[in-house]
Chains A and B, each alone.
Chain A
């Protein structure tokens, strides 16, 4: 019994004591929904270059945002990094973001990709893919074409709970209005090859397997599949043809300084670091995302899919259409 008690005491001391080791003089606290090895490498490089310690909590974007909202009175986070422009609206509505020094970034950023208190750090396109060894001449040019009767039982797409699909539909509502967006969603459901299941990669694999002909997925996963540890995934990626529909939906990964940040100078410095040429090159080469500046070329794989026309949407307002999007998904029974 005594030994057990000693063990408990030691365990507790270890648990509470060693979570935090050294406290550097300059530091920046990051809440990040970008759970990638590439990001960790970049933070390490930033630390080495500037001497500013990066403290990191990773999680899901929505949960981190809810946490920031709850901690509002006594904020700990300095930088918020996430995926999906639809969260900007919530963050701004709840007054969670602090103004950036945009003069430092305005000279190289692509327009539309930053606001007074947020800035995109990468972009991803949601496209239509198919097996190019099987389908040689795809005629699809718009997302709307997927509604045609000829694709009945041919479409593969993941469930409506996916934030990627929600953002896609929200953007469509913003651009075309509720009626058209509803008709589109209903048309897609009508042409489902199966009840949505699995993630984006699963849709691509099912298209190559022949369970359906066309799949909706993010370009970013094609890149990561092409360097997968699984040789079969690599060969699936090699077979994928990419269709950029007219008004291709492009979502962003973005960064902001959290309101009440106690290290806002360091926060600004970190964000600028992520936007620099060198880091932008790493994002596109290693993680398959599109850079946010014109003077950095996308990776060769991305370039091989050709050029495309991006939809014109207001990222700050995108989030205000999310509720409508979810309602539409429920109404048309897109599970």
Chain B
């Protein structure tokens, strides 16, 4: 019996130790004497970076969470024309990588962009270009908001669908107003779910590099990169990363404390939600809201890419495309499956063991997700250089290093999803199973796993769409002659050939969207 429990414990701890080992180099930096550059960074760079990062992360996470929650609430509680299709389409903006969105919108508003070009060429109107200027911060917030709001949409919707039913009926019986229900019942109830999505958004914005670098926002990730690349001071870069990691762990532990254990799922019977049918102006208003939201976050960026694809397909090399597609699909699928399995082990361990060690390990899984990928890449390379002295591993002809790095980076994302799925189920079924004589392993496989399947698929899909667009690790840790669609996007974009990067970008988006679409539809069916 106990053997299984220690199996989960030990296998989880091995992973946690591995993660910690990779990050040791960064943490040690905090205790070493600062380099001479550190003074300069602390004096001229740090305060700006902290202010800008806080602004960017908080405003975009807040706006994205607001939109995500509102959209989730409306499709959960109301019925209106197109509800079903809207509720599915709202997942898809997640398929658009933020850095690609930043190229698209900057270009569209620019001089050669579709708006100004159209006015100039069709109507011969040369508009004042100042009308289309924006600050880098505004553009950054906009891009993160429209690409990341589905994180909260997903978490909040799943949660409200399950638990809002009971309260809603009562509230309606008490004749509470629409606004009142939204603010005093749905919002507090969904807060843990919103916060889970909010955390993912915040972490994604914190670790983003492509958007802030292109737009020129002095954020943490660009400062880390700058101290390393421009100042040639990798030590300071690691020190900055370590500070960032401490900040992130503190945030996560705080989030953990905020989350009260929910036992609704076990005690109350879940009552199906009866949606309120909207008509007339209110229906038109809601439909308009979704149409505009989806136009900005999905239709416009994809149409722009299609236009670019149309003019650039003759100018790009196609000879390796099949291989790239194959590499992209196998890598993303393989890594996502492995992450789901490891995350399942760790989540099961932290669920069964309530010790502080378990809580801390659960947070450590998110470390890799919180700091810039290029720093993670260098830490992984260093880890393997050290490891190679003990075990002969071929890092240049196999995918070992890349797969390890990607797991390290996205384990937390998979873990978050599986853990929240496990919390929804609670421990009752597992305990009952063990009372009936099954061991921990059997209980996990026969009792929890079937109930968890929707969460496992959701975790798989979310990890997959992150891995498929991932850049710094893929670029730095891949073996010789290994190209993916994302590295192809990088090749064109780094050469400022944004138009030529449209086709590989579109394929990445199409694969991600297709997967999300299938998985979501499947989960919805399963849930019903």
Give A residues with C-beta under 8 Å from B: 1, 7-8, 11-12, 14-16, 19-20, 29, 35-37, 40, 55-60, 62-63, 66-67, 70-71, 73-74, 76, 90, 158-159, 161, 163, 166, 194-202, 205-206, 208-211, 221, 224, 228-233, 236, 319, 322-323, 326-327, 330-331, 335
Contact = CB atoms under 8 A, between A and B. Distances in A.
14 contacts: A7-B337, A11-B337, A58-B491, A73-B385, A90-B232, A158-B216, A161-B216, A161-B226, A163-B230, A197-B136, A201-B496, A230-B312, A231-B311, A335-B218
Given A11-B337, A57-B480, A233-B499, A19 B106 contact: no
A161 B216 CA distance: 8
B334 interface: yes
Interface in B493-511: 494-497, 499-500
Contacts of B232: 90, 319, 322-323
Given A323-B37, A326-B230, A56 B385 contact: no
A209 B378 contact: no
Contacts of A198: 106, 110, 214-216
B106 A202 contact: yes
A106 B315 CA distance: 37
Contacts of B449: 1
A59 B382 CA distance: 17
A306 B388 CA distance: 54
A31 B69 CA distance: 46
Q: Which 9 A-B pairs have the closest CB atoms?
A: A209-B111, A232-B112, A55-B480, A229-B312, A159-B216, A330-B44, A20-B397, A209-B129, A62-B229
Nearest to A66: B378
Contact of B330 (A15, A58, A195): A15
B399 interface: yes
Given A70-B381, A230-B308, A236 B478 contact: no
Interface of B: 37, 40, 44-45, 106, 110-112, 116-117, 129-130, 133, 135-136, 213-216, 218, 222, 225-226, 228-232, 234, 308, 311-312, 314-317, 330-331, 333-334, 337-338, 341, 374, 377-378, 381-382, 385, 388, 395-400, 403, 445, 449, 472, 475-476, 478-482, 487, 490-491, 494-497, 499-500
Contacts of A206: 110-111, 129
Contacts of A90: 232
Contacts of A71: 381, 385
B290 to A, nearest CB: 31
Contact of A322 (B112, B230, B481, B482): B230
Nearest to B320: A40
A54 B476 CA distance: 18
Given A15-B399, A330-B44, 16 more contacts: A8-B337, A16-B400, A36-B491, A56-B481, A57-B479, A59-B476, A60-B494, A70-B382, A90-B232, A197-B136, A198-B215, A200-B496, A206-B129, A224-B497, A228-B499, A326-B226
Contacts of B377: 63
Contact of A205 (B112, B225, B445, B487): B112
Contacts of B476: 59, 63, 67
A63 B378 contact: yes
B116 A20 contact: no
A330 B40 contact: yes
A40 B112 contact: no
Contacts of A224: 495-497
A195 B136 contact: yes
A295 B395 CA distance: 42
Contacts of A55: 480-481
A211 B129 contact: yes
Nearest to A44: B319
A221 B495 CA distance: 9
B215 A19 contact: no
A13 to B, nearest CB: 10
Given A74-B388, A211-B133, A230-B112, A14 B334 contact: yes
Given A8-B337, A56-B481, A211-B130, A16 B496 contact: no
Contact of A233 (B40, B112, B218, B491): B112
A162 to B, nearest CB: 9
A21 to B, nearest CB: 9
> Dominant SS at the B interface?
helix
Contacts of B331: 15
Most buried by A among B112, B228, B479: B112
Contacts of A322: 230-232
Given A66-B378, A198-B216, A221-B496, A236 B111 contact: yes
A12 B231 contact: no
Most buried by A among B136, B228, B308: B136
B330 A20 contact: no
B23 to A, nearest CB: 16
Contacts of A163: 229-230
A66 B381 CA distance: 10
Contact of A8 (B341, B382, B491): B341
Contact of A14 (B316, B317, B330, B491): B330
B313 to A, nearest CB: 8
A35 B490 contact: yes
Given A35-B495, A230-B311, A236-B112, A20 B398 contact: yes
A205 B109 CA distance: 12
Contacts of B496: 199-201, 221, 224
A166 to B, nearest CB: 6
Nearest to A210: B129
A229 B308 CA distance: 8
Nearest to B117: A232
A29 B394 CA distance: 14
A11 B333 contact: yes
A40 to B, nearest CB: 7
Contacts of A58: 475, 487, 491
A136 B117 CA distance: 24
A219 to B, nearest CB: 13
A63 to B, nearest CB: 6
Most buried by A among B218, B228, B381, B495: B495
Nearest to B36: A323
Contacts of B395: 76
B497 to A, nearest CB: 7
A36 B378 CA distance: 24
A89 B315 CA distance: 37
B433 to A, nearest CB: 16
Nearest to A202: B110
A195 B112 contact: no
B480 A56 contact: yes
Nearest to B130: A211
Contacts of B213: 161
Most buried by B among A7, A20, A56, A196: A20
A197 B216 contact: yes
Given A58-B487, A161-B230, A230-B499, A20 B479 contact: yes
Nearest to A34: B495
B399 A35 contact: no
Contacts of A158: 216
Given A74-B388, A211-B130, A230-B499, A195 B135 contact: yes
Contacts of A11: 330, 333-334, 337
Nearest to B232: A90
A269 B234 CA distance: 33
A11 to B, nearest CB: 4
A8 B112 contact: no
B310 to A, nearest CB: 9
A63 B133 CA distance: 33
A1 B445 contact: yes
Contacts of B491: 35-36, 58
